[in-house]
Structure 1
Amino acid sequence: MTIFQRDLFTCQRPECGHLESSTALLVCDHKVPHRGDERLFWDENNLQTLCKACHDKIKQRDEQSSLHTRGVWH
């Protein structure tokens, strides 16, 4: 909730900027994937508000496209 309030309940993707009053439609997202690093996981400067649509579509597409450079866990 702290991150949503800080970001004024607004999606931080520059191409979106959607203001969302329902927190059920917002996601607190890690800018840099934490990959188990607790420091990155809890760092509020590494967190941003995304609307669910941007998170589920754009952010996931971006992360999937980097699989070949970062490897996949089995």
Structure 2
Amino acid sequence: MADLSRIKEHAEVIGADGVHVGTVDHVEGNRIKLTRRDSGEGSHKGHHPYIPGGLVADIEDGTVRLSANAAVAVSFEEEGD
């Protein structure tokens, strides 16, 4: 797993396929909390989605790159407040 302490607020999170997954609000433990505007639709709308830190492959030039494609990564999203 990448060093999550290197992840900065407002960094873009992209899947292994280069597709935008979200924008970092901040890191909580071993999870990346994304901004609410990345919360999707339906029951997830308006809640902060979280991405497990284990999906982070690399942090380069302020961008968080995941080891999974965007469509797969969002299936691992957890819901927060």
TM-score scaled by length of structure 1: 0.30
Please state which structure has a larger fraction of its residues in helix: 1
Please state which structure has a larger fraction of its residues in strand: 2
- The structure having more radius of gyration, on CA atoms, is 1
TM-score scaled by length of structure 2: 0.28
